[in-house]
Every structure is written in C-alpha cells, then in structure tokens.
Structure 1
Amino acid sequence: MSQFINIGYGNIVAVGRIVAIVSADSAPIKRLVAQAKEEARLIDATQGRKTRGVIITDNDQVILSALQPETMATRLETQKE
C-alpha cells in the first residue's frame, strides 16, 4: 500500500516516489524548475502562492510546493512513526 505526504492545500505526493525535497531559492534549483517546465515535467501544487519547496521524484517530475522543505520533512518523519 502506498503512503502519501500532504504537501499543502490538499495536495499529496506518494512517499515512495520522492528523491529529494529542496528549497526553491538557489539558482541551480531555479534552472531545474525552468527546464522541467519547458519539458512538461513540472507540477505546480502551490495553489497560486509563493514556491518555497521543490520535490524531485524518481520519474524526473518536479513538484512545486508552497510549504518549506523543513515542514514537508517533518510531516514525512512523523508519518513514518
């Protein structure tokens, strides 16, 4: 059975697919997001809010979230317990 993590505003992601959760502030991540958008691999789950966290999945999808990476990591850790 798949486990999911809430990434904010009713959006969920399969935990088993997550490779990394990173901050959206750095230039390399901004380039990664731009490239994913060009290649139609970007999923915007911010609900129109500022992007604070970026989730990278094992199938090369890039997911934008309005939550901080620390918040998502905490949710992931509490879910495992």
Structure 2
Amino acid sequence: MMVNIGYGNIINGNRIVAIISPDAAPIKRLVQSARDEGTAIDATCGRKTKSVICMENGSIVLSALLPETIANRVNNDISKGEEYES
C-alpha cells in the first residue's frame, strides 16, 4: 500500500515502523545522525518537519505533515481493504 506523505511524495506504507513527532531531543539527534550517515530522506519540500517516519530498512523519512495525518491515511488505506502484508 502506498501512502501520500504530502506534496506529491509517496512511500510504501507496508514498510513503516513508526511515525514520530520531531520535537523531542532524542528524535532530533536521530534525524541529525541519519542526515550525517545519508539515510535520511527529506520529503518536506522546504517546509518545517512535522513528522519523522522510521522505515524497516533503518532509513528515516521527514514529512511536513503531522504524524496524526499520516497515521490516519495509513489506517484509512487498511480499512479500505488494503491489508497489511508483513
């Protein structure tokens, strides 16, 4: 299942591990570490980061949408019959 994370950016919803708010200091360190290692994908299109999406492969995706918005989109796709496949 593909999930729109804002501004025309789409990710594989089956590979999402967590959707986190970027405000806490440990998450800020996680983002900086991922940027340094090259495993961060910035999908904010120059806007403020409002959510950090952790993926199965260890990379993180930065989005300008709120975590609740992305979670609702994932849940709506699952409830429409696109079952989660592990």
Same fold (TM over 0.5): yes
In structure 1, C-alpha distance between the alignment counterparts of 2:50 and 2:24, rounded to whole Å: 11
Structure 2 alignment gaps of length 5 or more: 80-86
What residue number does 1:30 align with?
28
Deviation, 1:22, is 0.4
Query: For structure 1, which runs of at least 5 residues remain unmatched after alignment?
Result: none
Matched, 1:65 2:83: no
Match runs of 1:1-81 below 5 Å: 3-81=1-79
Read off the aligned partner of 1:49 and give its amino acid letter: R
CA separation in 2, counterparts of 1:73 and 1:67? Answer: 10
Using the TM superposition, give the Cα deviation of residue 71 of structure 1 relative to its aligned residue in structure 2, in angstroms. 0.4
Q: How far apart are the structure 2 equivalents of 1:79 and 1:17?
A: 14
In the TM superposition, residue 16 of structure 1 has moved relative to its aligned partner by 1.3
Give 3-state SS (helix, strand or coil) of 2:49's partner.
coil
AA aligned opposite 1:10:
G
Q: TM-score, normalised by structure 2?
A: 0.90
Larger radius of gyration: 2
Q: Which residue does the alignment assign to 2:82?
A: none
